[in-house]
Amino acid sequence: MNRYLGKLRPLMLVFALAACSNQGLLAPPTHASQPFFQRQISEKYPAVREYLGIPFAKPPIGDLRWRAPQALDSVDQHKNTAQFAPACMQTRGGVEWYEDVAGAFGHGPEVAPEPESVSEDCLYLNVWAPANHKSRPNDELLPIFVWIHGGGNTSGWSYEPNYRGAALANEGIVVVSIAYRLGIFGYFSHPGMAADKQAHIANFGLLDQIAALQWIKENASSFGGDANNITVAGESAGAANIGYLLATPSARNLFARSIHQSGSFELYDEHTLRDVQRAAQTLLPNPQANTASRQLADLRALDAKQLLALADEKYPDAFNYPVADHSLLPTSVLNLYERRNNPPRNMLIGSNDDEWYMYLEPPVTEASIDAWLTDELPGADHARVKALLVPYASDRIRLDKLAGGKIFRCGGYYLAARNTEQQGQSWVYHFSRSREGIGGETLRAYHGAEIPYMFNTHDHWLPTSTEDTRLTNTMMGYWLNFIRSGNPNGDGLPTWPMFSKENKLVQKLDATTESIFAPQAELCEFLMPNKDYSQSD
């Protein structure tokens, strides 16, 4: 199951072994008079319209490869179609992930979703909005929910079936899903870029996300949306990217609040720009043969499919994430929170009970756990950590709690607590629902399992019981309340307490929904990204 392994390979390697200039950023477009093309979704959601394949920047092709997204020409600003645009260039890793999940539930690969095409020309977004939305200045505008897809920043696309926003939009919000450059196309730097003083030198996928958010703020009222009430959300790499957006000064005013689903591993990222540029040399057969500018020109001249194949063979997975470049992204996300100078936010953060379980190939033994501990923790901590693992039923579950805890859960606790300390408000969830049948027994509450519940987009091949439907209604209620007001609590829902360092309560999302003490909180004392925080209890 390598969709998220592509994303997390750099983390597996790690675990196993000043104001920014806006120069080069996309200038927000101005309104055009022609309307967006819209179509009715279906009989199930007659009050919702969808707007597909809207460009938010010029195609990043030719000389625009590895440059900041460029503003659209006025004639293109309101172009869109009745179909989704191509997905960004990627391998089949995302599709194979779906195939493996479907296989666990007894289905063949034919049920797995797949984009119709992939292309370097992929900077498009999609909108779902109530059909009777209002766009006059004095009318009530609707909250906006912006989804950043996961997939390791190497795969995934904005309109995977689980990400389509009709059910949420039917509840009176505007839903937007955005694309961004992936892998070598989005997260790459080369010494030759420094010669162009007008260009950015890294973080093109992050720049795409900023450009999309700028476009959304500028055009929000065209769909009845409130530009001052934007919630940005994402899962896995999408959630990690939100962490980078929070550390990017030019992005801070583009959204009001954030939802982080199975992310927070960006807190552990210590790669430097020099690391990424050194990795770029692996793409060249003879790195010393030409000047840096010539090398970069040769790489830009490659066909997109050639470059993708070359990167798949030679470019390290560890460098498919944003990196501190001392311009767009001044410092690491962890440094930002350690310095306590991040503006307070309202955040909804969480993880799933068995995040890493699906990636642990049997047999997993006590020796596997010992090897992980040797790589990750001081020897003096090993006995205490192993004592905390005793209650779990198998070595595979124990190793999941270690690896999944460090990658997703403990960082989420840290982020939530730090945000609360800095006068923000944080709510944390723990999703522990396993589907019924053999698939649920095989995968448990796996990485990504929560998405069909909060979007209400259950795949036809997933067994969905009355309990799953009840949980869907609960989670949609929480997410919609947070999107509207910044607080998940509301009428008819179990009370969800705020999370803090002193009050580590989380909302368990399962057949029953209740507040519990944060799972593995004691274990996180050894796994937190900042030991001073974790030992302060």
Active-site amino acid positions: 236
Task: In whole angstroms, give the CA distance from residue 151 to residue 93.
Answer: 8
Task: In whole angstroms, give the CA distance from residue 126 to residue 139.
Answer: 23
Task: In whole angstroms, give the CA distance from residue 145 to residue 167.
Answer: 12
SS3 of 48, please?
strand
Question: Do residues 62 and 183 make contact, with C-beta atoms less than 8 angstroms apart?
Answer: no
Q: Which residues pair with 144 in a beta bridge?
A: 174, 230
Matching residue, tokens 């927000």: 28
Q: Which residues pair with 346 in a beta bridge?
A: 257, 425
> For the chain, percent helix, then strand, then coil, each to nearest 5?
40, 15, 45
Spell out the alpha helix ranges (H) of 250-363.
273-280, 292-301, 304-314, 333-338
CA angle 222, 226, 227 (to 5 degrees): 90
Q: In angstroms, what CA-CA distances link 315 with 240, 287, 291, 305?
A: 21, 14, 20, 14
The CB-side HSE value for 108 (13 A sphere, CA atoms) comes to 1
Task: In whole angstroms, give the CA distance from residue 329 to residue 388.
Answer: 38
Question: Do residues 225 and 139 make contact, with C-beta atoms less than 8 angstroms apart?
Answer: no
CB contact set of 410 (below 8 Å; sequence gap of 6+): 520, 523, 524, 527, 528, 529, 534
CB contact set of 33 (below 8 Å; sequence gap of 6+): none
Q: In angstroms, what CA-CA distances link 510 with 397, 432, 476?
A: 19, 5, 13
The enclosing H or E element of 478 equals helix 466-485
Task: In whole angstroms, give the CA distance from residue 492 to residue 91.
Answer: 44
130 upstream amide cis, omega within 30 of 0: no
